[in-house]
Amino acid sequence: MMCSVTFCTSMRKEGLQTPTSTVTSISSSVAFIIMLWTILEQMPLPLATTPGPHWRMRKSSSKSTLRSLTGCSEIDLKSETVSQDALRRTIFPLGELTKDFVKKIAAENSLHHVLQKRESMGICFIGKRNLEHFLLQYLQPRPGKFISIEDNTVLGTHKGWFLYTLGQRAKISGLREPWYVVEKDGTKGDVLVAPRVDHPALYRDLLRTNRVHWIAEEPPAALVRDKMMECHFRFRHQMALVPCVLTLNQDGTVWVTAVKAVRGLALGQFAVFYKGEECLGSGKILRLGPSAYTLQKGKNRTRVAPEASSDSPGLHPTS
């Protein structure tokens, strides 16, 4: 609970600039790193007794980490923000370890408290509570409107734009059909919604991060040399890797251009970068490019404008 209070207090101090989508990443990351460091500093390292190369543990002597061979490991989304000093002291498993096999190693080393601990899902640090009710215990309600992004129709009201994250379903009283959050206006308090789970307003292919934390303590040589680099990224646990192009800015921030528009990008999430099997680092998402819906509307206006304004001077085609 202390972690919960601290987080909500910081949200109030920052004027609610921290989006709801970062609740899990901030609190879980802090708890994960503290727990990891405490165990490594105070306990002898466990010795697995099963022979074979797949389970053997080693100290991390390299300046980078490898992503899980079976997909996204939660460690990927934590270790990309860890300093080199901490990584060099950290023990990582090698090979294609499954969760069941890790539990087997724990049992062989009498780590019964690990085996008895129930797995947590979602925002684990608040327990089995309604997230909206939990946040409103610490934050003052800021009533606003749900507005359709297609025709600006007011569809309903809510208790605070900070209770929603981009891409989630908005529960609008009186409406049976699903609507999804596509934009939030913190100044007016409005939440813009779209009528389909695959609505183009939910998709973007451009974002900018803050100064990237590179695990190797410096940007990749190819990125420094060419100012651009092809790689992959993800911003959510267990999502598929997305091909992209990084553009390095002078201040250490990067523009990320996805090869294909992705759904549900939100400010405050962390974009984690990969090159092959290597996890390179991450940056917090600070800016988003226009949605596919906004771009499509712009193209439509461009096509319609000459016809609608054909009587205006200067718009007639020249011969």
The pLDDT confidence band at residue 72, using thresholds 50, 70 and 90, is very low
How confident is the model at residue 113, as a pLDDT?
A: 80
pLDDT 10s digits, 214-265: 987 688 999 999 999 999 999 987 789 999 999 999 999 999 999 999 999 9
Kindly tell me if the per-residue pLDDT of 307 is higher than 90: no
Specify the pLDDT at position 91. Answer: 63
Confidence of residue 289 (pLDDT cuts 50, 70, 90): very high
Could you give the CA distance from residue 39 to residue 36 in angstroms, rounded to a whole number? 5
More confident residue, 168 or 76: 168
Torsion over CA of 40, 114, 49 and 43, rounded to 10 degrees? 20
What's the confidence (pLDDT) of residue 22?
46
The pLDDT of residue 66 is above 90: no
DSSP type of residue 106: H
Cβ within 8 Å of residue 294, ≥6 positions away? 201
Dihedrals phi, psi of 65, to nearest 5 degrees = -125, 155
With tokens 């974002």, the residue in question is 207
Q: Tens digits of per-residue pLDDT, 120-161?
A: 655 666 667 788 888 888 888 999 999 999 999 999 999 999
Q: How far is CA 293 from CA 200, 202, 298, in A?
A: 5, 8, 9
Mean pLDDT, residues 52-73 taken together: 44
pLDDT of residue 119: 67
**What pLDDT digit, counting tens, does each position of 116-125 carry?**
777 665 566 6
In the chain, the largest separation of any two C-alpha atoms, in whole Å, equals 86
Place of tokens 């309600």: 141
Say what the pLDDT of residue 97 is.
73
CA distance 203 to 264: 7
Please state, for a pLDDT cut of 70, what percent of the chain lies above it: 61
- Give the Cα separation of 162 and 186 in Å (integer): 8
Residues contacting residue 319 through CB under 8 Å, at least 6 positions apart? none
Q: Which of 259, 257, 162 is nearest to 209 (CA)?
A: 257
Q: What is the pLDDT of residues 275-286, one digit of tens each?
A: 988 889 899 999
Q: Which residue has the tokens 């099963």?
A: 50
Would you state the pLDDT for residue 264? 92
